[in-house]
A = this chain, B = another copy of it.
């Protein structure tokens, strides 16, 4: 039972479910459903898929996440960035609209699901931390810009393609003469409407006496109003005959569940993209989940979250959908609308299922420009260059990582951007750890404290070199330490004792041990004695086990003061 509880979080809240929670969850579900219908259609469009696939990717994943996910209020489904990444991954593999394209999208969801599930079951959730915050922020900003550009073609009613900013813009510019006037009127109209609602909708509604929360939640229905209004306009005026691109026939009914067929070649091509989409999706999702959980002092669990998202993606694949993750805006709306448990998501899934059974005929005349406008308004709020300024004032290397990520994403597309972001993050981190702070120290007169000789006026002995290493020793920095010690010896013939102060050394790995052995032997050849001081218990135990302490030419001292005093010719005594 304990195991079941730990892997199936639904069991922890289902038993306490009551009428009050039901009411709260139902209200939230209605609001989220209204918000999700246009959103699901829009993100399917962004991913290059038929609109119904957006609905399919919303239903089963919501239910499966409700069972396995650790967050109480996270809402899972298609999101903007994962949809863009899906389109980018599939662009080289098949033609948009083809059967192969859809099959590849399903494979991508399945691979993402399996990968996330594996990370979760193996408890490797921490690995996803290797995308630093600044890199993720930069990536999201750049991706949002790419998404907005990619949707302008629908607003203008032209054909334009491209996975990077320059191709997109030149493609848009070169097709400007094809602009379709009715399309642009609808597109800009919806854009203006959504923009106004977003900026002043809440205060407008509050003027009519609605509470702030009700007003805020009501504004979330704006896309649905846009959708309905433009459907009416297009169908009434038959604008689709004047070149306005519409969604057209959407098969009605529920997705058919099927275990996807896989080709090995496709898996090879999509494995890396699936990993990137998964990680980016997870990072987005967990940050939302954590924020919401912490607000109610609830718990999220990184590995359980991976399992929940993994299962949701597999569910998406089985129901013919594409990669999904926890979305920011949808989760916040769910939370603000009062959802208490994941039951709200199950009701939302039922709502979307009903919509896909009944409403699809209504959506026939829905202009693609309306969906594009919805997407643009949604992603514009993700664009945030302030991260550049913030990192600049705190850490130049973080700022560098942000700028690289933004530039590479804009110029070379999302895949290059995310690869580059991960590599730059890890690279900068590794580079920092390879050059630990190593200070030559001396005794502060009248105390037993040893401080950096460069910053303090200290007592030293020309025959003794005392070095404090401010980091655990491992393969990445062991040879830096070695070089540093040889460098001191090379420049100073008087040194007869080297004392390494290990107070900040939490671990010594095998490579560093080998390096210490080398140093010890080289120093013996040069007639220099090597001592260690202030070695932590576990480290000392490990060194003793492999007989390093025995082979050490000098001693191990509990305190640096003792180490210094034992080897200097001019003993220091305090009374």
Chain A interface (Cβ < 8 Å from any Cβ of B) = 124, 126-127, 129-134, 286, 290-291, 293-295, 297-299, 302, 390-391, 393-395, 398, 425-426, 429-435, 437, 470-472, 474-480, 482-483, 486-487, 489-490, 504, 506-507, 509-511, 513-515, 518, 522, 525-526, 542, 545-546
Contacts and interface: CB of A to CB of B under 8 A. Distances in A.
Nearest to A295: B525
Contacts of A297: 489-490, 526
A316 B293 CA distance: 61
Nearest to A290: B482
Number of copies of this chain that the complex holds? 2
Nearest to A511: B133
A546 B393 contact: yes
Among all A-B residue pairs, the 8 with the closest Cβ atoms: A132-B475, A133-B511, A398-B510, A294-B522, A126-B434, A132-B511, A299-B490, A133-B514
A535 to B, nearest CB: 15
A431 B426 CA distance: 12
Contact of A510 (B124, B390, B515, B525): B390
18 contacts: A126-B476, A126-B480, A127-B430, A127-B431, A129-B477, A132-B474, A132-B510, A133-B514, A291-B518, A297-B526, A393-B545, A394-B545, A395-B509, A395-B510, A398-B510, A429-B474, A429-B475, A504-B504
Contacts of A390: 510, 546
B132 A398 contact: no
B513 A394 contact: yes
The residue among A286, A430, A515 with the most chain B CB atoms within 10 A of its own CB is A430
- A interface majority secondary structure: helix
A133 B475 contact: yes
A514 B124 CA distance: 23
Contacts of A476: 126, 129-130, 429
Contacts of A432: 474, 507
Contacts of A129: 434, 475-480
Contacts of A475: 129-133, 425, 429
Given A429-B475, A475-B133, A525-B295, A437 B506 contact: yes
A431 B126 contact: yes
Given A394-B542, A398-B511, 8 more contacts: A126-B480, A127-B431, A133-B510, A134-B510, A299-B487, A299-B490, A394-B513, A394-B546
Contacts of A478: 129, 133
A299 B489 CA distance: 10
B429 A525 contact: no
A158 to B, nearest CB: 34
Contacts of A526: 294, 297
Contacts of A126: 431, 434-435, 476-477, 479-480
A6 to B, nearest CB: 14
Contacts of A546: 390, 393-394
